[in-house]
Homo-oligomer: A and B are copies of this chain.
Amino acid sequence: MLSNAMKRILIIGAGRSASSLIQYLLKTSETENWKLVVGDLSLELAKLKINGHPNGKAIAFDIANQVQREAEIECADVVISMLPAFMHMDVARDCIRFKKNMITASYVSKEMQSLDSDAKEAGIILLNEIGVDPGIDHMSAMKLIDEIRTMGGELTAFESFTGGLIAPETEKDNPWKYKFSWNPRNVVLAGQGVVKFVQEEKYKYIPYHKVFRRTEIIEIEGFGKFEGYANRDSLKYREVYGLQDVKTIYRGTFRRPGFCRAWDIFVQLGCTDDSYEIEGSEDMTFREYINSFLAFHKTDSVELKLMHYMKMDQDDVDLFEKLEWLDIFKEIKIGLKNATPAQILQLILERKWTLQPEDKDMLVMWHKFNYILNGEEKRAESSMVTVGSDVINTAMSKTVGLPVAIATKLILQGKIKLTGVQVPVVKEIYEPVLKELEDYGIEFKEKFH
Protein backbone atom coordinates (compact mmCIF):
# COMPACT_ATOMS: atom_id res chain seq x y z
CA MET A 1 0.00 0.00 0.00
CA LEU A 2 1.08 3.52 -0.81
CA SER A 3 1.06 6.11 1.91
CA ASN A 4 -1.98 8.37 1.90
CA ALA A 5 0.05 11.32 0.80
CA MET A 6 1.55 9.63 -2.27
CA LYS A 7 -0.58 9.94 -5.41
CA ARG A 8 -0.39 7.25 -8.05
CA ILE A 9 -0.53 7.93 -11.80
CA LEU A 10 -1.09 5.10 -14.27
CA ILE A 11 0.08 5.72 -17.85
CA ILE A 12 -1.07 3.14 -20.38
CA GLY A 13 1.06 3.11 -23.54
CA ALA A 14 4.72 4.14 -23.61
CA GLY A 15 5.05 4.85 -27.34
CA ARG A 16 6.79 7.72 -29.07
CA SER A 17 4.36 10.42 -28.05
CA ALA A 18 4.65 9.49 -24.35
CA SER A 19 8.33 10.49 -23.95
CA SER A 20 7.94 14.13 -22.92
CA LEU A 21 4.84 13.26 -20.91
CA ILE A 22 6.68 10.69 -18.79
CA GLN A 23 9.74 12.91 -18.35
CA TYR A 24 7.61 15.79 -17.06
CA LEU A 25 5.70 13.59 -14.66
CA LEU A 26 8.82 11.89 -13.30
CA LYS A 27 10.52 15.22 -12.72
CA THR A 28 7.42 16.72 -11.08
CA SER A 29 6.92 13.59 -8.96
CA GLU A 30 9.95 14.60 -6.93
CA THR A 31 8.21 17.64 -5.46
CA GLU A 32 4.62 16.42 -5.68
CA ASN A 33 5.18 13.01 -4.09
CA TRP A 34 3.82 10.91 -6.96
CA LYS A 35 4.30 7.30 -7.98
CA LEU A 36 4.28 6.84 -11.75
CA VAL A 37 3.30 3.43 -13.16
CA VAL A 38 4.01 3.06 -16.87
CA GLY A 39 2.33 0.06 -18.51
CA ASP A 40 3.00 -1.12 -22.03
CA LEU A 41 2.72 -4.41 -23.92
CA SER A 42 6.51 -4.10 -24.11
CA LEU A 43 8.00 -4.08 -20.61
CA GLU A 44 11.31 -3.06 -22.19
CA LEU A 45 9.85 0.06 -23.72
CA ALA A 46 8.18 1.01 -20.43
CA LYS A 47 11.49 0.49 -18.59
CA LEU A 48 13.33 2.59 -21.15
CA LYS A 49 10.96 5.49 -20.58
CA ILE A 50 11.22 5.25 -16.75
CA ASN A 51 14.99 5.11 -17.07
CA GLY A 52 15.52 3.91 -13.48
CA HIS A 53 13.79 6.85 -11.83
CA PRO A 54 12.97 5.93 -8.19
CA ASN A 55 9.37 7.21 -8.48
CA GLY A 56 8.74 5.23 -11.64
CA LYS A 57 7.60 1.67 -12.08
CA ALA A 58 7.47 -0.12 -15.43
CA ILE A 59 5.02 -2.97 -15.92
CA ALA A 60 4.06 -5.25 -18.79
CA PHE A 61 0.45 -4.31 -19.37
CA ASP A 62 -2.17 -5.81 -21.63
CA ILE A 63 -5.33 -3.74 -21.92
CA ALA A 64 -7.27 -6.90 -22.79
CA ASN A 65 -6.33 -8.50 -19.45
CA GLN A 66 -9.33 -7.47 -17.40
CA VAL A 67 -8.01 -8.60 -14.04
CA GLN A 68 -4.78 -6.63 -14.40
CA ARG A 69 -6.56 -3.62 -15.88
CA GLU A 70 -9.03 -3.40 -13.02
CA ALA A 71 -6.35 -3.93 -10.36
CA GLU A 72 -4.09 -1.19 -11.76
CA ILE A 73 -6.89 1.30 -12.29
CA GLU A 74 -8.34 0.68 -8.85
CA CYS A 75 -5.11 1.66 -7.09
CA ALA A 76 -4.36 4.70 -9.29
CA ASP A 77 -5.48 8.28 -8.63
CA VAL A 78 -5.47 9.29 -12.25
CA VAL A 79 -5.20 7.22 -15.44
CA ILE A 80 -3.62 8.51 -18.65
CA SER A 81 -4.41 6.49 -21.77
CA MET A 82 -1.97 7.03 -24.63
CA LEU A 83 -3.47 4.10 -26.54
CA PRO A 84 -5.07 4.47 -29.96
CA ALA A 85 -8.49 6.11 -29.57
CA PHE A 86 -10.53 2.96 -30.18
CA MET A 87 -8.93 1.29 -27.13
CA HIS A 88 -9.97 3.87 -24.53
CA MET A 89 -13.43 2.57 -23.73
CA ASP A 90 -12.65 -0.33 -21.35
CA VAL A 91 -10.35 1.97 -19.43
CA ALA A 92 -12.97 4.73 -19.30
CA ARG A 93 -15.64 2.37 -17.97
CA ASP A 94 -13.28 1.06 -15.28
CA CYS A 95 -12.38 4.65 -14.34
CA ILE A 96 -16.06 5.42 -13.78
CA ARG A 97 -16.55 2.27 -11.74
CA PHE A 98 -13.53 2.96 -9.50
CA LYS A 99 -14.08 6.75 -9.53
CA LYS A 100 -10.70 7.62 -11.06
CA ASN A 101 -9.96 10.60 -13.29
CA MET A 102 -8.88 9.82 -16.83
CA ILE A 103 -6.98 11.80 -19.45
CA THR A 104 -6.45 11.15 -23.19
CA ALA A 105 -5.12 13.13 -26.14
CA SER A 106 -7.72 11.61 -28.50
CA TYR A 107 -10.87 12.97 -30.07
CA VAL A 108 -14.04 12.34 -28.07
CA SER A 109 -15.79 9.44 -29.74
CA LYS A 110 -19.56 8.97 -29.58
CA GLU A 111 -19.03 6.14 -27.10
CA MET A 112 -16.85 8.35 -24.91
CA GLN A 113 -19.40 11.17 -25.02
CA SER A 114 -22.11 8.76 -23.92
CA LEU A 115 -20.29 8.29 -20.60
CA ASP A 116 -20.73 11.98 -19.66
CA SER A 117 -23.54 11.59 -17.12
CA ASP A 118 -22.01 8.44 -15.60
CA ALA A 119 -18.71 10.29 -15.16
CA LYS A 120 -20.45 13.25 -13.55
CA GLU A 121 -22.30 10.94 -11.21
CA ALA A 122 -19.00 9.28 -10.26
CA GLY A 123 -17.53 12.75 -9.66
CA ILE A 124 -14.64 12.22 -12.08
CA ILE A 125 -13.36 13.94 -15.19
CA LEU A 126 -12.82 12.15 -18.52
CA LEU A 127 -10.58 14.79 -20.10
CA ASN A 128 -9.88 14.27 -23.81
CA GLU A 129 -8.34 16.13 -26.75
CA ILE A 130 -5.58 17.63 -24.59
CA GLY A 131 -2.57 16.91 -26.81
CA VAL A 132 -1.94 18.83 -30.00
CA ASP A 133 -4.51 18.97 -32.80
CA PRO A 134 -6.60 18.22 -30.87
CA GLY A 135 -5.46 20.01 -27.73
CA ILE A 136 -3.19 23.02 -27.95
CA ASP A 137 -5.22 24.21 -30.95
CA HIS A 138 -8.41 24.16 -28.85
CA MET A 139 -6.79 26.03 -25.98
CA SER A 140 -5.03 28.73 -27.97
CA ALA A 141 -8.05 29.32 -30.22
CA MET A 142 -10.47 29.54 -27.27
CA LYS A 143 -8.13 31.94 -25.47
CA LEU A 144 -8.26 34.31 -28.45
CA ILE A 145 -12.02 33.80 -28.92
CA ASP A 146 -12.63 34.67 -25.26
CA GLU A 147 -10.35 37.72 -25.53
CA ILE A 148 -12.17 39.03 -28.60
CA ARG A 149 -15.55 38.45 -26.96
CA THR A 150 -14.42 40.19 -23.78
CA MET A 151 -13.47 43.23 -25.88
CA GLY A 152 -17.01 43.12 -27.32
CA GLY A 153 -15.95 41.84 -30.73
CA GLU A 154 -18.28 39.79 -32.91
CA LEU A 155 -16.51 36.90 -34.63
CA THR A 156 -17.12 36.48 -38.37
CA ALA A 157 -14.41 34.10 -39.59
CA PHE A 158 -12.03 31.50 -38.19
CA GLU A 159 -9.19 29.77 -39.99
CA SER A 160 -6.74 27.45 -38.30
CA PHE A 161 -3.79 25.36 -39.49
CA THR A 162 -1.46 22.93 -37.75
CA GLY A 163 1.49 21.07 -39.23
CA GLY A 164 4.00 18.55 -37.96
CA LEU A 165 7.08 19.38 -40.04
CA ILE A 166 10.87 19.41 -39.70
CA ALA A 167 13.07 22.17 -38.29
CA PRO A 168 14.75 24.49 -40.80
CA GLU A 169 18.18 22.91 -40.17
CA THR A 170 16.76 19.47 -41.00
CA GLU A 171 15.07 20.73 -44.18
CA LYS A 172 18.41 21.02 -46.00
CA ASP A 173 18.84 18.65 -48.97
CA ASN A 174 15.28 17.45 -48.47
CA PRO A 175 13.28 18.81 -51.40
CA TRP A 176 9.98 17.95 -49.67
CA LYS A 177 11.08 19.76 -46.47
CA TYR A 178 9.14 17.02 -44.70
CA LYS A 179 9.62 13.87 -42.64
CA PHE A 180 7.23 11.78 -40.59
CA SER A 181 6.88 13.04 -37.02
CA TRP A 182 3.52 11.30 -36.73
CA ASN A 183 1.94 7.98 -37.75
CA PRO A 184 3.12 7.48 -41.37
CA ARG A 185 0.01 5.56 -42.36
CA ASN A 186 -2.21 8.47 -41.31
CA VAL A 187 -0.06 10.86 -43.34
CA VAL A 188 -0.40 8.70 -46.46
CA LEU A 189 -4.18 8.42 -46.09
CA ALA A 190 -4.72 12.07 -45.01
CA GLY A 191 -7.53 13.91 -46.72
CA GLN A 192 -9.48 10.89 -48.00
CA GLY A 193 -13.23 11.40 -48.04
CA VAL A 194 -14.81 14.76 -48.77
CA VAL A 195 -13.72 18.05 -47.21
CA LYS A 196 -16.54 20.23 -45.88
CA PHE A 197 -16.26 23.79 -44.65
CA VAL A 198 -18.22 27.04 -44.57
CA GLN A 199 -17.10 30.15 -46.41
CA GLU A 200 -19.12 33.36 -46.30
CA GLU A 201 -22.11 31.40 -44.98
CA LYS A 202 -21.98 28.91 -47.87
CA TYR A 203 -21.15 25.24 -47.49
CA LYS A 204 -18.19 24.24 -49.63
CA TYR A 205 -17.13 20.73 -50.63
CA ILE A 206 -13.79 19.53 -51.98
CA PRO A 207 -13.36 15.95 -53.23
CA TYR A 208 -10.15 14.16 -52.21
CA HIS A 209 -8.64 14.37 -55.69
CA LYS A 210 -8.75 18.20 -55.51
CA VAL A 211 -7.75 18.81 -51.86
CA PHE A 212 -4.03 19.14 -52.55
CA ARG A 213 -4.54 21.68 -55.31
CA ARG A 214 -6.79 24.01 -53.30
CA THR A 215 -4.15 25.26 -50.93
CA GLU A 216 -3.29 28.65 -49.53
CA ILE A 217 0.03 30.20 -48.54
CA ILE A 218 0.50 31.69 -45.07
CA GLU A 219 3.64 33.37 -43.75
CA ILE A 220 4.74 33.17 -40.13
CA GLU A 221 7.23 35.78 -39.05
CA GLY A 222 10.68 34.32 -38.65
CA PHE A 223 9.76 30.95 -40.12
CA GLY A 224 8.83 31.77 -43.70
CA LYS A 225 5.97 30.53 -45.80
CA PHE A 226 3.72 27.53 -45.27
CA GLU A 227 1.17 25.90 -47.51
CA GLY A 228 -2.16 24.83 -46.04
CA TYR A 229 -4.57 22.21 -47.33
CA ALA A 230 -8.07 21.66 -45.93
CA ASN A 231 -8.93 19.12 -43.25
CA ARG A 232 -12.09 17.04 -43.56
CA ASP A 233 -13.68 18.10 -40.33
CA SER A 234 -13.96 21.90 -40.11
CA LEU A 235 -17.68 21.99 -39.39
CA LYS A 236 -17.69 20.28 -36.00
CA TYR A 237 -15.59 23.09 -34.53
CA ARG A 238 -18.51 25.49 -34.80
CA GLU A 239 -20.19 23.73 -31.92
CA VAL A 240 -17.07 22.92 -29.90
CA TYR A 241 -15.93 26.57 -29.97
CA GLY A 242 -19.43 28.08 -29.87
CA LEU A 243 -18.94 29.62 -33.32
CA GLN A 244 -22.36 28.78 -34.77
CA ASP A 245 -22.79 32.28 -36.21
CA VAL A 246 -19.37 32.58 -37.80
CA LYS A 247 -19.61 32.97 -41.60
CA THR A 248 -16.36 31.20 -42.43
CA ILE A 249 -14.74 28.26 -40.68
CA TYR A 250 -11.83 26.41 -42.17
CA ARG A 251 -9.25 24.09 -40.63
CA GLY A 252 -6.23 22.73 -42.38
CA THR A 253 -2.79 21.19 -42.31
CA PHE A 254 0.51 22.96 -42.94
CA ARG A 255 3.26 21.78 -45.24
CA ARG A 256 6.09 23.75 -46.85
CA PRO A 257 5.18 25.35 -50.21
CA GLY A 258 5.46 22.91 -53.10
CA PHE A 259 4.73 19.84 -50.98
CA CYS A 260 1.05 19.63 -51.90
CA ARG A 261 1.46 19.85 -55.65
CA ALA A 262 4.02 17.03 -55.52
CA TRP A 263 1.90 14.96 -53.12
CA ASP A 264 -1.02 15.44 -55.50
CA ILE A 265 0.94 13.48 -58.13
CA PHE A 266 0.61 10.41 -55.87
CA VAL A 267 -3.08 11.14 -55.31
CA GLN A 268 -3.71 11.53 -59.04
CA LEU A 269 -1.82 8.34 -59.92
CA GLY A 270 -3.82 6.38 -57.35
CA CYS A 271 -0.84 5.60 -55.06
CA THR A 272 -2.73 6.52 -51.86
CA ASP A 273 -5.56 4.03 -52.47
CA ASP A 274 -5.84 1.57 -49.58
CA SER A 275 -8.88 -0.34 -50.90
CA TYR A 276 -7.27 -3.07 -53.03
CA GLU A 277 -4.06 -5.05 -53.32
CA ILE A 278 -1.56 -4.68 -56.14
CA GLU A 279 -1.06 -8.04 -57.92
CA GLY A 280 2.40 -9.46 -57.28
CA SER A 281 3.52 -6.50 -55.16
CA GLU A 282 6.26 -8.48 -53.42
CA ASP A 283 8.38 -8.98 -56.52
CA MET A 284 7.70 -5.57 -58.06
CA THR A 285 10.14 -2.68 -58.07
CA PHE A 286 9.36 0.94 -57.21
CA ARG A 287 9.54 1.74 -60.91
CA GLU A 288 7.13 -1.04 -61.87
CA TYR A 289 4.75 0.12 -59.13
CA ILE A 290 4.64 3.65 -60.60
CA ASN A 291 4.31 2.17 -64.10
CA SER A 292 1.23 0.17 -63.07
CA PHE A 293 -0.66 3.48 -62.87
CA LEU A 294 0.52 4.61 -66.32
CA ALA A 295 -0.69 3.52 -69.73
CA PHE A 296 1.36 0.94 -71.61
CA HIS A 297 3.83 2.18 -74.19
CA LYS A 298 6.41 0.15 -76.08
CA THR A 299 9.27 2.63 -75.85
CA ASP A 300 8.39 5.70 -73.77
CA SER A 301 10.04 5.85 -70.33
CA VAL A 302 8.13 5.79 -67.06
CA GLU A 303 9.46 9.31 -66.38
CA LEU A 304 8.12 10.72 -69.64
CA LYS A 305 4.78 8.95 -69.35
CA LEU A 306 4.32 10.30 -65.84
CA MET A 307 5.24 13.85 -66.83
CA HIS A 308 2.86 13.73 -69.78
CA TYR A 309 -0.01 12.16 -67.79
CA MET A 310 0.39 14.71 -64.99
CA LYS A 311 0.75 17.58 -67.47
CA MET A 312 4.15 18.50 -66.04
CA ASP A 313 6.27 20.88 -68.07
CA GLN A 314 9.89 20.22 -68.88
CA ASP A 315 10.86 23.05 -66.52
CA ASP A 316 8.83 21.79 -63.53
CA VAL A 317 12.18 20.78 -62.11
CA ASP A 318 11.37 21.38 -58.43
CA LEU A 319 8.39 19.09 -58.71
CA PHE A 320 10.20 16.37 -60.64
CA GLU A 321 13.15 16.50 -58.25
CA LYS A 322 10.87 15.70 -55.31
CA LEU A 323 9.66 12.54 -57.04
CA GLU A 324 13.12 11.48 -58.16
CA TRP A 325 14.60 12.06 -54.68
CA LEU A 326 12.24 9.37 -53.32
CA ASP A 327 13.80 6.84 -55.76
CA ILE A 328 10.39 6.05 -57.26
CA PHE A 329 11.94 5.54 -60.70
CA LYS A 330 14.54 3.05 -59.45
CA GLU A 331 14.43 -0.73 -59.76
CA ILE A 332 14.33 -1.28 -55.99
CA LYS A 333 12.37 -4.36 -54.82
CA ILE A 334 9.25 -3.68 -52.79
CA GLY A 335 9.31 -7.02 -50.95
CA LEU A 336 5.88 -6.52 -49.41
CA LYS A 337 3.28 -9.23 -50.07
CA ASN A 338 -0.33 -8.44 -51.05
CA ALA A 339 0.21 -4.75 -50.38
CA THR A 340 -2.20 -1.96 -51.21
CA PRO A 341 -0.96 1.04 -53.22
CA ALA A 342 -0.97 3.10 -49.99
CA GLN A 343 1.11 0.51 -48.10
CA ILE A 344 3.70 0.48 -50.88
CA LEU A 345 3.84 4.28 -50.98
CA GLN A 346 4.37 4.32 -47.20
CA LEU A 347 7.26 1.88 -47.58
CA ILE A 348 8.85 4.06 -50.27
CA LEU A 349 8.43 7.20 -48.17
CA GLU A 350 9.74 5.68 -44.94
CA ARG A 351 13.15 5.15 -46.57
CA LYS A 352 13.50 8.92 -46.87
CA TRP A 353 11.04 10.46 -44.46
CA THR A 354 12.09 8.73 -41.22
CA LEU A 355 13.63 11.07 -38.65
CA GLN A 356 17.36 10.34 -38.26
CA PRO A 357 19.25 10.73 -34.95
CA GLU A 358 20.55 14.15 -36.03
CA ASP A 359 17.11 15.41 -37.16
CA LYS A 360 14.77 17.80 -35.41
CA ASP A 361 11.08 18.16 -36.07
CA MET A 362 8.95 21.28 -35.82
CA LEU A 363 5.35 21.89 -34.96
CA VAL A 364 3.61 24.94 -36.41
CA MET A 365 0.19 26.29 -35.50
CA TRP A 366 -1.63 29.37 -36.78
CA HIS A 367 -5.10 30.78 -36.14
CA LYS A 368 -6.75 33.73 -37.78
CA PHE A 369 -9.95 35.40 -36.61
CA ASN A 370 -11.95 38.10 -38.32
CA TYR A 371 -14.27 40.07 -36.10
CA ILE A 372 -16.26 43.25 -35.96
CA LEU A 373 -15.50 45.69 -33.14
CA ASN A 374 -17.41 48.95 -32.89
CA GLY A 375 -18.58 48.53 -36.49
CA GLU A 376 -15.04 48.07 -37.79
CA GLU A 377 -13.67 44.93 -39.44
CA LYS A 378 -10.70 43.64 -37.44
CA ARG A 379 -8.32 40.73 -37.65
CA ALA A 380 -6.41 38.78 -35.00
CA GLU A 381 -3.75 36.14 -35.48
CA SER A 382 -2.13 33.71 -33.13
CA SER A 383 0.86 31.56 -34.03
CA MET A 384 3.19 29.08 -32.38
CA VAL A 385 6.28 27.29 -33.62
CA THR A 386 7.97 24.62 -31.50
CA VAL A 387 11.18 22.90 -32.56
CA GLY A 388 12.06 19.48 -31.20
CA SER A 389 15.04 19.14 -28.84
CA ASP A 390 16.15 15.88 -30.43
CA VAL A 391 14.74 12.77 -32.05
CA ILE A 392 13.24 11.53 -28.74
CA ASN A 393 12.00 14.82 -27.32
CA THR A 394 10.44 15.83 -30.59
CA ALA A 395 8.20 18.86 -30.97
CA MET A 396 5.40 16.34 -31.58
CA SER A 397 6.15 14.49 -28.31
CA LYS A 398 6.35 17.76 -26.38
CA THR A 399 3.19 19.31 -27.80
CA VAL A 400 1.20 16.10 -27.33
CA GLY A 401 2.68 15.08 -23.98
CA LEU A 402 3.17 18.29 -22.03
CA PRO A 403 -0.47 19.47 -22.06
CA VAL A 404 -1.50 15.98 -20.92
CA ALA A 405 1.13 16.09 -18.17
CA ILE A 406 0.23 19.59 -16.99
CA ALA A 407 -3.47 18.75 -16.93
CA THR A 408 -2.65 15.64 -14.88
CA LYS A 409 -0.86 17.79 -12.34
CA LEU A 410 -3.71 20.31 -12.19
CA ILE A 411 -6.23 17.53 -11.62
CA LEU A 412 -4.12 15.94 -8.88
CA GLN A 413 -3.65 19.35 -7.26
CA GLY A 414 -7.41 19.89 -7.37
CA LYS A 415 -7.04 22.96 -9.58
CA ILE A 416 -9.18 21.43 -12.32
CA LYS A 417 -12.44 20.50 -10.59
CA LEU A 418 -14.64 19.81 -13.63
CA THR A 419 -16.34 16.43 -13.95
CA GLY A 420 -17.84 14.54 -16.90
CA VAL A 421 -16.53 14.26 -20.46
CA GLN A 422 -14.50 17.40 -21.15
CA VAL A 423 -12.31 18.98 -23.81
CA PRO A 424 -10.02 21.91 -22.97
CA VAL A 425 -12.11 24.78 -24.31
CA VAL A 426 -12.90 26.19 -20.85
CA LYS A 427 -10.77 28.77 -19.12
CA GLU A 428 -10.35 26.62 -15.99
CA ILE A 429 -8.29 24.26 -18.11
CA TYR A 430 -6.72 26.27 -20.94
CA GLU A 431 -5.46 29.20 -18.88
CA PRO A 432 -3.13 27.35 -16.48
CA VAL A 433 -2.07 24.81 -19.13
CA LEU A 434 -1.15 27.43 -21.75
CA LYS A 435 0.65 29.45 -19.10
CA GLU A 436 2.87 26.56 -18.01
CA LEU A 437 3.50 25.47 -21.63
CA GLU A 438 5.29 28.79 -22.09
CA ASP A 439 7.98 27.56 -19.67
CA TYR A 440 8.70 24.83 -22.23
CA GLY A 441 8.92 27.20 -25.19
CA ILE A 442 5.41 26.42 -26.41
CA GLU A 443 4.27 29.99 -26.71
CA PHE A 444 1.68 31.76 -28.84
CA LYS A 445 2.29 35.13 -30.42
CA GLU A 446 -0.94 37.04 -30.71
CA LYS A 447 -1.36 39.95 -33.09
CA PHE A 448 -4.35 42.25 -33.41
CA HIS A 449 -4.83 44.30 -36.59
Contacts and interface: CB of A to CB of B under 8 A. Distances in A.
A207 B291 contact: no
Interface in A196-218: 196, 199-200, 202-207, 209-210, 214
Interface string A263-303: 00000111001011011100000001001111110000000
Contact of A203 (B202, B214, B278): B278
Contacts of A210: 268, 270
Interface in A178-233: 193-194, 196, 199-200, 202-207, 209-210, 214
Given A268-B209, A270-B205, A270-B207, A194 B296 contact: no
A341 interface: yes
Interface in A237-280: 268-270, 273, 275-276, 278-280
A276 B196 CA distance: 10
A199 to B, nearest CB: 4
A288 B204 CA distance: 10
Interface residues of A, number: 31
B203 A293 contact: no
B206 A209 contact: no
A434 to B, nearest CB: 32
Nearest to A272: B207
Interface of A: 193-194, 196, 199-200, 202-207, 209-210, 214, 268-270, 273, 275-276, 278-280, 288, 291-296, 341
**What 10 A-B pairs come out closest when comparing CB atoms?**
A207-B270, A209-B209, A199-B296, A203-B279, A200-B296, A205-B292, A205-B270, A205-B293, A194-B276, A203-B292
20 contacts: A193-B275, A194-B275, A194-B276, A199-B295, A202-B288, A202-B291, A203-B279, A203-B280, A204-B292, A204-B293, A204-B296, A205-B292, A205-B341, A206-B270, A207-B268, A207-B269, A207-B293, A210-B268, A210-B270, A214-B295
